[in-house]
Structure formats: structure tokens, C-alpha cells
Amino acid sequence: MMIRRRVRYVTTLLAVVGLVGLGSDAVGQATSLTGLLQQTWHRYLAASRSGDEAELRAAMSTFRFVTMKNDLAKSGLSLTPDRIKRIAEFAPDISRCQLASVLSSGPTAALLYVRDSDTIDSTGRPLVDYYFMKFVEEAGVWKTDGYQRVNALKFKPDGTLAGFDPKHIQPTYEIDGRILPPPSLLPATR
């Protein structure tokens, strides 16, 4: 059972995991990719807040956009400006998080953010929230492919930081260099 409570701990993660010991060119490339992906995320949020379907389509991967429209159609709904605006309401606020990792493989990349959770587990152990944001490059443009929140223990039993376990990521969010083909678009109903 999760107990809602504000937990305040200092998170001591590296700004970019995996860059320690790499040459300055690799660090520079990762830093520029990080900035590009952050801009892509903010473009996605701005498109969501606008309520404009064309703007959202331009900021989202084709796979995720068509999948979202199909999920709505299966429920007898369509993508309205109000529904588009609600996307931004549920998106993580990365300004309240620390960047933990940047991953990339070909035209797929991810930003992993972490912040102390507002919850603890049933034994009082602190939790953290990880936000895994996937991006894909389509026709030379980076687009948001979605995000996933993972709530996990902050510390291992020995007291060291637990870190992120990638086994919690859904298969469609894997950073494997493959862009998923979009499904066929279903007709909207209302």
C-alpha cells in the first residue's frame, strides 16, 4: 500500500550517466543531442497546449499519433482541441527533475529524468519517479514518441542509490534504432 506523503531527499545522480570517461567529442555530441531532445519535448508540450491537431501531429511520432487517434476511434471518440490540451496537463514537468541519462541508437533516443516521489512504500522507504521520454527522428526531424513514468525504490537494501532498471520500460519505448511503422488509421466517429 502506498502512503501519500511528501518525501524530501537529495538525489545524487550524475547529470548524464554513461558519459564519464568519454572523450570531449562524445560529451559534446551528447550535450547537443540533450538540448535538441529537450527542445523537441517543449515543442510537443506547446503543441499540446495549443489544442491544434496539425501542430500536435508535427511534434509527435507518426506511430504514436496514429495509435492515439485509433485508440480514441475505438472508444467512439475523436481528437478534439480539448483532448489535445489535456495531454499537456498530464505530462511531466522536467523543470522539477534532474536529468539522469541520455540514450540513443540511430533514429531513436531517450531522456531519463528523476525526481523524489511524493510517495513512500508501505514500510516507509523513499521512492523516486523516473520519467522516460522517447524520441524518434522522422525525415530529419526529432519528434516525441511518448513517455512513461516508473515509480521505484530510491535506495538498495545496502543504502546505495538503486538507479533505474530498464526492464520496466514497455517494448514500444525501447531505444533500439528502429522506428515502429504506424498502424492503419481508423475512421473517427465524433
Instruction: Classify residue 164: in a domain, yes or no.
Output: no
Share the mean pLDDT of the chain.
84
Residue 95 is classified by DSSP as G
Q: What is the pLDDT of residue 22?
A: 35
Whose CA is closest to 35, among 45, 25, 43?
Answer: 43
For 133, the domain range is 3-158
**pLDDT, tens digit, 9 for 90 and up, residues 81-107:** 999 999 999 999 999 999 999 999 999
Query: What percent of the chain shows pLDDT beyond 70?
Result: 82
**pLDDT, tens digit, 9 for 90 and up, residues 142-163:** 999 999 999 999 998 888 889 8
pLDDT band at residue 30 under the 50/70/90 scheme: low
Grid coordinates of 38: 529537450
Instruction: Classify residue 177: in a domain, yes or no.
Output: no
Residue 149 is classified by DSSP as E
**pLDDT, tens digit, 9 for 90 and up, residues 106-133:** 999 999 999 999 989 899 999 999 999 9
Please state the pTM of the whole predicted model. 0.80
CATH number of residue 33's parent domain: 3.10.450
Whose CA is closest to 143, among 42, 70, 67?
Answer: 42
Instruction: Classify residue 140: in a domain, yes or no.
Output: yes
Instruction: Classify residue 182: in a domain, yes or no.
Output: no
Indicate if the pLDDT at residue 31 is higher than 80: no
Instruction: Classify residue 77: in a domain, yes or no.
Output: yes
Q: What is the pLDDT of residue 190?
A: 56
Indicate if the pLDDT at residue 16 is higher than 70: no
Instruction: Classify residue 30: in a domain, yes or no.
Output: yes
Instruction: Classify residue 186: in a domain, yes or no.
Output: no
> What total number of domains does the chain contain?
1
Instruction: Classify residue 118: in a domain, yes or no.
Output: yes
